[in-house]
Structure 1
């Protein structure tokens, strides 16, 4: 007797049910990717005051700072000099070097520390 997918006692009976649609595969991959994301940290008033003091001192004394930024579920560090702070737009301009400039939204900041 030849083995086929309908032969009793063999695991071939349900082989066709193992197929996944491309939409399901991409949704599963997106779900796995979303599981690796970190939640946005909540920063209380006392921490904001500490961060603003560090930012003001670093800007006044031209000191290098490391700002930890939360963006779309991931943290990254920006190291550079604070050029300006715009309270109306709620953005900080950081010069990473002589060429690269980055604008950071204040609500994305997760940490600030001086490098010196």
Structure 2
């Protein structure tokens, strides 16, 4: 089988001879592939989030928080310790996460 055979990786055939600049561009592309714009939370969803937070605080329930950080959507699970200065303090397995209320997307 040669590089022109069906099923060969013709696009990357010369990748053994890539310039450092090309490698850097490919790595930057991989980093940016998962980036998203910050979603807008609807008013009724925000009301539901606030209700879930209050219920979790009152009954010390574990929650899964979906939030936006560093141009990505992230998830964290734990118990809510408190809300202060527009920040949610979440007790997770490896410590405490501080999540801005404005970055919250969902709380389950």
Q: Output the TM-score relative to the length of structure 1.
A: 0.67
Q: How much is the aligned-residue C-alpha RMSD, in angstroms?
A: 2.0
Distance 2:82 2:69 in 1: 21
Alpha carbons of structure 1 residues 96 and 36: separation in structure 2 relative to 1, 3 Å:
closer
Pairing of 1:73-88 with structure 2 (within 5 A):
73-86=71-84
CA distance in 2, matches of 1:80, 1:29: 33
1:69 and 1:106 map into 2 onto residues whose CA distance is: 9
Q: Which residue number corresponds to residue 59 of structure 1?
A: 57
Gaps of 5+ in 2: 1-16
Q: Post-superposition, which runs of at least 4 consecutive aligned residues in structure 1 deviate over 6 A?
A: none
The TM-score normalised by the length of structure 2 is 0.71
Q: Which of the pair has more CA radius of gyration?
A: 1
Q: Partner of 2:6 in structure 1?
A: none
| Equivalent residues in 2 for 1:1-40, closer than 5 Å | 22-40=20-38
